[in-house]
Amino acid sequence: MTQSYKTLMLGAYSDVIIICLMGIFGGFVYSLQTGTVTLPHRDNKNSLNLGFLANCIFGMAGAIVIFLIVPGDFDFSNPKGSDFIKSVATALIGGWGGLALVEKVFSSQFSELEKKLKEKEVQEITDVKVLETANQYLNSSTSVQMPERDLQELIKTASPAVKATILNEAQRLRSENWNSNKTKMERTIPVFEAISEAPPTEDKNHQVFGQLGFALKDKTIPDYRAAKENLDKAIELRNSANTGGFAWYEFNRAICNIHLDNNFKRQTAAESNLRELITTDLRIAFADNLLLERLEKNASLSGGDSDILAIKQWLDVNNISGESVGIGWLDAAKAA
Q: What is the pLDDT of residues 211-246, one digit of tens each?
A: 999 999 999 999 999 999 999 999 999 999 999 899
pLDDT at 320 over 70: yes
Residues 6 or more apart whose Cβ sits within 8 Å of residue 170: 134, 138, 188, 191, 192, 195, 211
**Which of 62, 96, 130 is a domain's end point?**
96
How many CB atoms are closer than 10 A to CB 290? 10
This model's pTM is above 0.85 = no
278, 214: one domain: no
336: confidence class by pLDDT, cuts 50, 70, 90: very low
Q: How far is Cα 297 from Cα 300, in angstroms, rounded to an integer? A: 8
Q: What does the pLDDT average to over 181-194?
A: 94
By residue count, the chain amounts to 336
**Contacts within 8 Å (CB) and 24+ apart, 329-332:** 329/296, 330/301
- Residue 109 counted as domain residue: no
Q: Output DSSP code: residue 158.
A: S
88, 8: one domain: yes
pLDDT at 68 over 80: no
| pLDDT score recorded for residue 311 | 94
128, 208: one domain: yes
147, 92: one domain: no
314, 258: one domain: yes
Q: How far is Cα 292 from Cα 309, in angstroms, rounded to an integer? A: 15
Share of the chain above pLDDT 70, in %: 64
9, 90: one domain: yes
Q: Output DSSP code: residue 270.
A: P
What's the total number of domains in the chain?
3
pLDDT at 261 over 70: yes
The residue ranking higher by pLDDT, 1 or 119, is: 119
- Residue 315 counted as domain residue: yes
- Residue 281 counted as domain residue: yes
135, 189: one domain: yes
222, 265: one domain: no
Range of lowest pLDDT (118-122, 229-233, 280-284, 321-325)? 118-122
75, 145: one domain: no
Buried b (16+ CB within 10 A) or exposed e, 81-106: eeebeebbebbbbbbbbbbebbeebe
How many CB atoms are closer than 10 A to CB 112? 10
Determine the structural domain holding residue 127 and report its residue range.
120-226
- Residue 323 counted as domain residue: yes
Query: What rounded mean pLDDT belongs to the chain?
Result: 81
- Residue 265 counted as domain residue: yes
**Which of 59, 81, 96 is a domain's end point?**
96
**Which of 61, 96, 131 is a domain's end point?**
96
- Residue 101 counted as domain residue: no
- Residue 12 counted as domain residue: yes
259, 336: one domain: yes
